Amino acid sequence: MAEEPDTDEGTELEARLAEGETYEPPASFVEQANVSDPEIYEEFEENWPACWERAADMLSWNQAYDTVLEDDDAPFYRWFTGGELNASYNCLDRHVEDGAKNRAAIKWEGELGETRTYTYSDLLYEVEAFAASLRELGVEEDDVVTLYLPMIPELPIAMLACARIGAPHSVVFAGFSADALATRMNAADSEYLVTCDGYYRRGDPLNHKEKADKGLRGVDHDVETVVVDRLGDELNHFLGASAHDYEELVSEHEGESVEPVSRDAEDMLFLMYTSGTTGQPKGVKHTTGGYLSYAAWTSHAVLDVKPEDTYWCAADIGWITGHSYIVYGPLALGTTTVMYEGTPDYPEKDRLWDLVEKNDVDIFYTAPTAIRAFMKWGKQYPDQHDLSSLRLLGTVGEPINPRAWQWYYDHIGDGECPIVDTWWQTETGGMMITTLPGVGEMKPGSAGPPLPGIDARIVDASGDQVEAGNAGYLTVNNPWPGMLRTLYRNDERFLSEYWQEYSDEEADEWVYFPEDGAKIDEDGYITILGRVDDVINVSGHRLGTMEIESAIVGVEGVAEAAVVGGDHEIKGEAVYAYVILEDDADATDSMRDRIIEGVEDAIGPIARPEEVIVTPELPKTRSGKIMRRLLEDIASGNELGNTSTLRNPEVVEDIAAQVGND
Ligand code: PRX
């Protein structure tokens, strides 16, 4: 049963939060923190960009770099130029060589209760065997290998195997549809795919191979496919003509050693597709030297990761959070990273707390959407477990409301763990705005100041900084090592998406625009308000409204669609689809089902509309522009402002009545 909210406690809490109550990190945390000297901000500022050597020094380089930052071709910045390194060597071999070969690298928890632990030497052994297998299939340096795998150990193994031989990986989230897989493989000309037969969700096996096969039919070139057997006999592990069995391949190469390829710092480590304003996903390119340094540095400074820790980021590796903070950051630091295959409420709603207790997790990192769900389920679930191993908590992906922050602080951290609310993006590679947990006081709901070395500002439409207390647009006014280098094969879009808005090209002043709105207070703390483009954030997952709209208009009988985000208690935002049908189509349930199916087929269940509202017209301005803001207000149940400037104000009432918010 969900916990009854205690109204007295609730009201008092709201009042305290509204007053902007702040929290100091506990002394016991500060004493042991990787970073606890507030001077770090000045040190970085005074010594910029050389300060970033600290990040690069967290890695082992085969060839020392000559220059920290080269900006002659800005905004195509180059970091640690002349340096050479290998990411898999940094995540594996060096720890084995340093005497940590028997330390657990990955502790995997399967949904059905099975576990697998890979020590650093086990992981190296597997990675080498799979790296040799990829080579046997013909993978060469710089070939893009697509990984369409759920949360099973073979995913990080495949990532590190690719990194070892210098083949960039492109991980496609397993929840994405067949079409989404095909689009990404075509865009990257990727000729290799690693996938699996299936995986479990709430105890039931899902057929993943069928989806991968369907996706492959949409790929416009030949593909070599490797299939991991996750389900044993549960599903027929059917390979198809050109597919290889992972186990078979690996067993042929067991015990082989594969030299880590020395990569230039600026060589691509991976590609990650993310949603943008247009229908076509953006292929964000990350490099070996800058990205890995940044992932390692932020894991050290913000997540306070130490080699002897057990660290758990409960995200999916299919998103950037999992790349940087399940795989690359923690493994580069030689810690133990926990990986959980399943959902947080299976078999019971205490599953995550059970895993924290069982594994003595020190650091836990998740998304506000999960925290809001935990809060709704009630504190009795964490209360059943001993969570005293926890030292630090983190959140990422969307704004956290102060109440959820407070609940996390009280009921998971027992008032003793600092919380880092970390703002960043697929493009930034790692965290950008957050408190340093051993330094700064926390303000629930506000991410905090920019990290040392990051010049984030809040500006108005003309690019001038706003006064404290005001809202505006977030910008980043200097480069950082983890930044994307370009959009894959699309430098023009890279320039227009991120650098056009606030840069002064003539003056060679480049300003990165992340497309978020934000507010700044007198202490320089930044509160993120959300996206200012047509991207919505559902459960911390970024979705382009245009992508969803084009899926909907692809459904037979649909004439026009407008998709917006509406407030949602758990998900933060949910997808609302306003649809105009063709004259001969009827607004039946089956029509709505087909629309939902269309979205699931084109993108995946995460983009599933919460509501499909069929309307004869969309509210438009006199110049014919769809009033999206109004559609958002209707979806969120907000008070509707003046609609008299509309060409067709009469449709508003009708639409609002359907959403049930009139
Ligand atoms: O709007 C911001 C929101 O998530 C967007 C980036 O999404 P994505 O590239 O998928 O990466 C998510 C994980 C890093 C941002 O533009 N966002 C991310 N973190 C926060 C956030 N909004 C508020 N607070 C955060 N801590």
Q: Is the peptide bond before 481 cis (omega within 30 degrees of 0)?
A: no
423 CA from centroid of ligand 1 (Å): 6
Q: Is the peptide bond before 205 cis (omega within 30 degrees of 0)?
A: no
> Cα Rg for the chain, rounded, in angstroms?
24
* Rounded CA separation 610/303 (Å): 34
* Rounded CA separation 594/581 (Å): 12
Atom of ligand 1 nearest to the CA of 514: 16
Is 65 domain-assigned? no
Three-state DSSP class for residue 7: helix
Nearest CA to ligand 1 atom 14: 425
425 CA from centroid of ligand 1 (Å): 5
566 CA from centroid of ligand 1 (Å): 17
Is 401 domain-assigned? no
Contact 519, 527 (CB under 8 A): yes
**Angle at the Cα of 657 (from 655 to 661), degrees rounded to 5?**
105
Atom of ligand 1 nearest to the CA of 447: 26
| Domain count for the chain | 1
* Rounded CA separation 461/532 (Å): 12
Q: Residue 504 contacts by C-beta under 8 Å, 6 or more apart in sequence?
A: none
Nearest CA to ligand 1 atom 11: 425
Q: In this structure, is the dihedral angle defined by the CA atoms of residues 278, 280, 281 and 287, taken in order, positive or negative?
A: negative
Is 567 domain-assigned? yes
395 CA from centroid of ligand 1 (Å): 10
Contact 364, 314 (CB under 8 A): yes
User: Which tens digits make up the pLDDT trace of 569-614?
Assistant: 999 999 999 999 999 889 899 999 999 999 999 999 999 999 999 9
Is 160 domain-assigned? no
User: Which tens digits make up the pLDDT trace of 213-224?
Assistant: 999 999 999 999
Predicted local confidence at residue 623, as pLDDT: 84
Which of 396, 442, 538 most suits a substitution to test ligand 1, by most atoms within 8 Å of the C-beta? 396
Nearest CA to ligand 1 atom 22: 398
| Ligand 1, pocket residues at CB < 6 Å | 274, 320-321, 396-399, 421-426, 447, 514, 516, 528, 530-531, 537, 542
Is 262 domain-assigned? no
Within the chain, which residues score under 50 in pLDDT?
Answer: 1-7, 662
Which of 272, 320, 393, 398 most suits a substitution to test ligand 1, by most atoms within 8 Å of the C-beta? 398
Which of 275, 424, 484, 513 most suits a substitution to test ligand 1, by most atoms within 8 Å of the C-beta? 424
Half-sphere exposure of 34 (CA within 13 A, CB side): 21
169 CA from centroid of ligand 1 (Å): 22
Predicted local confidence at residue 6, as pLDDT: 44
Q: How many residues does the chain have?
A: 662
Contact 130, 197 (CB under 8 A): no
Predicted local confidence at residue 1, as pLDDT: 35
Nearest to 598 by CA among 586, 611, 609, 589: 609
DSSP H helices, 334-414, are 351-359, 368-377, 380-383, 402-407
* Rounded CA separation 141/261 (Å): 8
Predicted local confidence at residue 3, as pLDDT: 39
Nearest CA to ligand 1 atom 15: 425
Nearest CA to ligand 1 atom 8: 425
104 CA from centroid of ligand 1 (Å): 30
428 CA from centroid of ligand 1 (Å): 10
Predicted local confidence at residue 625, as pLDDT: 86
Nearest CA to ligand 1 atom 12: 397
What SS3 string covers 158-212? HHHHHHHHCCCEEECCCCCCHHHHHHHHHHCCCCEEEEECEEEECCEEEEHHHHH
Atom of ligand 1 nearest to the CA of 395: 26
Contact 272, 295 (CB under 8 A): no
Predicted local confidence at residue 646, as pLDDT: 87
Nearest CA to ligand 1 atom 18: 397
Domain that holds residue 545: 534-659
Is 571 domain-assigned? yes
* Rounded CA separation 400/366 (Å): 11
366: left (phi over 0), alpha (psi -120 to 50) or beta: beta
Nearest CA to ligand 1 atom 10: 542
**647, burial (CB in 10 Å: exposed 0-12, middle 13-18, buried 19+):** middle
Predicted local confidence at residue 239, as pLDDT: 65
528 CA from centroid of ligand 1 (Å): 9
Is 551 domain-assigned? yes
DSSP H helices, 554-637, are 589-602, 628-636
234 CA from centroid of ligand 1 (Å): 37
Which ipTM value was assigned to this complex? 0.99
Is 31 domain-assigned? no
63 CA from centroid of ligand 1 (Å): 34
Domain at 627, CATH number: 3.30.300.30
